[in-house]
């Protein structure tokens, strides 16, 4: 099993508390405004933070995620009845015709396999109306972000309402080509239990992503910076013609 951080109920329940600064989503809200999107599909919606922000603003929001425990957290939040939640991924969506598809917080990197990535792009294309856009971010591999992921830089003691104090840190366990594997460790003070979550991310090159988007029928309109993480991210804006 992998990515327990999203799939284990106890870890999904503390995801938001351990990463409370969601100013990364401001840029996505501005993109929704920029393109006048009224219906948005958030792929890899996780605990639903972005989909709920959209619904609050009167946008028709659909959130899809393969991690049921994260979706359960989303479904338990105030206003969640205004969002359509789908358990699964972009490869198996019901018929949709949204104005915008988003993948926030580097979801694209979670989709490691070549076939899964291709099928995700195919699925998002099918979910868009002609003229609609796919916007997603991925860490610029040139910045080698994983070199700064270690116990010292990540160590935190967080007092989580309802869960107690949680000690957490990350360690990189393997770097192989584009694939970076790392392990988060969580120690719960309330019962002394330790849980771990192993993840692998793919750090794709810009040209490779542009080619893949083009092959799936998208027109790449722009590759932007993430304003809250200058120089670190590639934010793709791709249009279904």
Binding site for ligand SAM (CB under 6 A): 6, 43-46, 49-50, 65-67, 70, 89-90, 104-105, 107, 110-111, 116, 120
Closer Cβ to ligand SAM, 119 or 210, answer by number: 119
Give 6 or 241: the residue with its C-beta nearer to ligand SAM: 6
Minimum Å gap between C-beta 101 and ligand SAM is 11
How many C-alpha atoms does 83 have within 13 Å on its Cβ side? 33
- Chain residue whose CB lies nearest ligand SAM: 46
92 versus 190: smaller Cβ distance to ligand SAM: 92
Q: How far is the CB of 174 from ligand SAM (least distance, A)?
A: 19
Query: Nearer to ligand SAM by C-beta: 125 or 241?
Result: 125
Min dist CB 62 to ligand SAM, Å, is: 13
Q: Which CB atom, from 82 or from 189, has the smaller least distance to ligand SAM?
A: 82
Q: How many CA atoms lie within 13 A of 206 on its CB side?
A: 14
Written as one string, the DSSP assignment of 108-143 is HHH--SHHHHHHHHHHHHHHEEEEEEEEEEEE-GGG
Nearer to ligand SAM, 45 or 135 (CB): 45
C-beta of 45: minimal distance to ligand SAM in Å? Answer: 6
Query: To the nearest whole angstrom, how small is the minimum distance from the Cβ of residue 105 to ligand SAM?
Result: 3
Nearest-approach distance from CB 233 to ligand SAM, in angstroms: 13
């Amino acid at each position: 099993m992998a990515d327990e951080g999203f799939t284990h109920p106890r870890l999904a329940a503390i995801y938001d508390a351990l990463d409370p600064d969601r100013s990364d989503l401001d840029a996505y809200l501005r993109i929704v405004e920029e393109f006048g999107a009224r219906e948005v599909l958030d792929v890899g919606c996780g605990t639903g933070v972005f989909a709920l922000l959209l619904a609050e603003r009167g946008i028709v929001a659909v959130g899809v995620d393969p991690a049921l425990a994260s979706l359960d957290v989303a479904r338990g939040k105030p206003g969640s009845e205004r969002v359509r939640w789908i358990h699964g991924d972009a490869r198996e969506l019901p018929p949709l015709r949204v104005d915008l598809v988003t993948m926030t917080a580097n979801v694209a990197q979670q989709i490691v396999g070549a076939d899964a990535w291709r099928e995700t792009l195919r699925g998002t294309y099918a979910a868009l109306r002609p003229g609609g856009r796919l916007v997603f971010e991925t860490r610029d591999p040139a910045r080698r972000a994983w070199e700064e992921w270690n116990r010292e830089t990540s160590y935190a003691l967080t007092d989580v309402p309802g869960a107690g104090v949680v000690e957490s840190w990350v360690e990189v366990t393997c770097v192989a080509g584009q694939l970076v594997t790392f392990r988060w460790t969580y120690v719960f003070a309330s019962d002394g239990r330790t849980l771990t979550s192993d993840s692998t991310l793919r750090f794709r090159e810009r040209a490779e992503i542009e080619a893949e988007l083009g092959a799936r029928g998208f027109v790449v309109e722009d590759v932007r910076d993430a304003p809250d993480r200058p120089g670190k991210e590639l934010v793709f804006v791709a249009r279904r013609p």
